[in-house]
A and B are shown apart, each in its own frame.
Chain A
Amino acid sequence: MKNLKNLLKTPLQIIPKWVPIALLVLALVGFADATYLTIEHYQNEIPPCAISGCETVLTSAYSSIAGIPVSLLGSLTYLILIVLLLLYLDTKKEIFLRIALPVSFVAALASVAFLLIMAFVLKAFCQYCAVSDAISITIFFVLLWLALRSRNSSLPVRG
């Protein structure tokens, strides 16, 4: 328990500033992407697709959960991540990155599921969705890397 407390209190070892900024840029791109799909969803439009398949994906049963379009959930998740990253950049308190980790974990898990659904169930491809999925997964791994890094670096402190 003491270890855990230590872990939570230990400040992250110097995170290069570009890492959270890069995460912020990624989250903004993901937010724009998911927001675009959300707007298209509510306009009952299918975005112009470079490859055919968007229609299949964006009108499939997997495109919404209980009437809420998946893209809207994506938008909101990105917005939460953006706020957390900004809070971190503002206060430099690592707790915000620690909160972002499980949020991003759920997003990444959902993204993997959606990529698998596109590949194996629908056998159709929607590039807007894939971009968002890739960004979610990337953000999660970077946050995970930061968390593990800070844990490792805190070892000598605990010892």
Chain B
Amino acid sequence: MNAKRILYWGGFIVVVGLIIWGMIAAANKAEKENANVAPVDKVASFDWAKGATSSPVTLIEYSDFQCPACAAYFPVVEQLLTEVGDKVLFVYRHFPLEQHRHAVPAAQAAEAAGEQGKFWEMYKRIFETQTDWEDLADAKAIFAGYAQELKLDMTKYAAAVESKENLDKINNDLKSGLKAGVQGTPTFYLNGKKISPKNYEEFKKLIEDAAANNS
């Protein structure tokens, strides 16, 4: 074997080695990104959760602030939390649908409020007023108005609302939903299992049964 050949085949081994190394690096990067995508059956540290924090029962909602059905479910969830809030941990994840142009800005506003500890207040305000802003060309000013009402630090809010971290978090929620197989909003998962209760009583019973099974 002459030197040229050694170089030729040595080059081949180096290239193949580089490809494998590169792919391992890419896979590790993907794994890191996936770490911020919460699984459907577990609450992540960065999730918005309220209710019984120590309860083994989790109710995860994938929702869109501009979807009318989601707004209709808002009081249902509120009532559930009043009645069985001691038995279940409720988690809200963003699943902004493409056809709703205010869905992402609304989610951004809620996240920005969340940074100042007022996620649920903003969440409530946005859902309750959905009909006021759904037809507007731009609802960002309305959401900023809510932020002001909630006495948020507006400099911080303005910086947070359009930050990359904020948008990444929303997109990671969306990915989490896609991974779970969410097809529309709202979609509820009780301990990782998709549920479609037909009425309030059934919804409540599902939670109570899950709590009874887990205790």
Nearest A residue to B24 via CB reads: A39
Q: Which residues of A contact B12 (CB under 8 A)?
A: 82-83, 86
Total number of A residues with any Cβ neighbor in B under 8 Å: 19
Q: What total count of A-B pairs have CB within 8 Å?
A: 44
Q: Which residues of B contact A55 (CB under 8 A)?
A: 179
Minimum Cβ distance to chain B for residue A131 (Å) = 14
Minimum Cβ distance to chain B for residue A17 (Å) = 15
- Known A32-B22, A90-B8: A45·B178 in contact at CB below 8 Å: no
Assembly CA distance A79 to B8 (angstroms): 16
Flag if A28 contacts B15 (CB, 8 Å): yes
Flag if B27 contacts A39 (CB, 8 Å): yes
Nearest A residue to B20 via CB reads: A35
Q: Which residues of B contact A46 (CB under 8 A)?
A: 34, 179
A125 at the interface (CB under 8 A from B): no
- Known A55-B179, A86-B8, A86-B12: A48·B34 in contact at CB below 8 Å: yes
Q: Which residues of A contact B46 (CB under 8 A)?
A: none
Main secondary structure of the interface of A (DSSP, over half): helix
Minimum Cβ distance to chain A for residue B17 (Å) = 11
Q: Which residues of A contact B30 (CB under 8 A)?
A: 40, 45, 47-48
Q: Which of A31, A45, A83, A90 contacts B19 (CB 8 A)?
A: A31
- List 25 A-B residue pairs with CB atoms under 8 Å apart, sorted by A's residue number: A28-B15, A31-B19, A35-B19, A35-B23, A36-B27, A39-B23, A39-B27, A40-B30, A43-B27, A45-B27, A45-B30, A45-B31, A45-B34, A46-B34, A46-B179, A47-B27, A47-B30, A48-B30, A48-B175, A52-B179, A82-B16, A83-B12, A86-B8, A90-B5, A90-B8
Minimum Cβ distance to chain A for residue B180 (Å) = 10
Q: Which residues of A contact B22 (CB under 8 A)?
A: 32
Chain B 34-45, CB-CB to A under 8 Å as 1, else 0, gives 100000000000
Minimum Cβ distance to chain B for residue A58 (Å) = 12
Flag if B34 contacts A79 (CB, 8 Å): no
B33 at the interface (CB under 8 A from A): yes
Nearest B residue to A90 via CB reads: B8
Minimum Cβ distance to chain A for residue B120 (Å) = 29
Flag if A40 contacts B16 (CB, 8 Å): no
B136 at the interface (CB under 8 A from A): no
A1-50 CB contacts (< 8 Å) to partner B: 28, 31-32, 35-36, 39-40, 43, 45-48
Assembly CA distance A147 to B12 (angstroms): 25
Q: Which residues of A contact B15 (CB under 8 A)?
A: 28
- Known A36-B23, A43-B31: A79·B179 in contact at CB below 8 Å: no
Assembly CA distance A55 to B8 (angstroms): 39
- Known A46-B179, A52-B178, A86-B9: A32·B19 in contact at CB below 8 Å: yes
Minimum Cβ distance to chain B for residue A79 (Å) = 7
Flag if A48 contacts B27 (CB, 8 Å): no
Best-buried of A39, A47, A55, A86 by chain B (most CB within 10 Å): A39
B26 at the interface (CB under 8 A from A): yes
Assembly CA distance A91 to B60 (angstroms): 62
B117-132 CB contacts (< 8 Å) to partner A: none
Nearest A residue to B178 via CB reads: A52
Chain A 56-93, CB-CB to B under 8 Å as 1, else 0, gives 00000000000000000000000100110010001000
